Amino acid sequence: VLTLKNLSRYLLVLSLLTAVACAGGGGGTTTTTAAPAGSTLVVQGIAFGTAPTVRPGDTFTIDNQDSVAHTFTSSDDSWESVDLAANSKVQFTVPADLAPGRYVFFCRIHSGMGGALTVEG
């Protein structure tokens, strides 16, 4: 039975699938593998994309595609909070002395906006 609730759920799933399909960036091929270290953390739609897996000392790009500012803030102060201006890219360097692990981050401006950065040894 196609109720309104089912329909909205279906549309949500559809839009998520579309978002995933478009995440490749317009190239002809789309892969489902994780981004390599040193790539980009995209911020779009008041949400962080999947953070790249990195090593201490790695630098990657944080690409804020939103027309509002965000922050890239460690939940346990593992790094100094980074301001992400609207429609701008910032180079972020993982602290060289950061121990391997999973680091939760969030945006100070938007509650519920966050993710996790995996640091390999």
Residue 118 tokens read as: 């995996």
Stretch binding Cu ion (CB under 5 A), from 17-25, 52-60, 63-71, 85-93: 63-71
CB 88 within 8 A of CB 69: no
Minimum distance between the CB of residue 70 and Cu ion, rounded to whole angstroms?
A: 3
- Out of 61, 79, 110, 116, the only residue in the binding site for Cu ion (CB under 5 A) is 110
88 binds Cu ion (CB under 5 A): no
Instruction: Give the binding range for Cu ion (CB under 5 A) out of 26-34, 56-64, 97-105, 109-117.
Output: 109-117
Nearest to Cu ion of 58, 106 (CB atom): 106
Written in H, E and C, the secondary structure of 75-105 is CCCCCCCEEECCCEEEEEECCCCCCCEEEEE
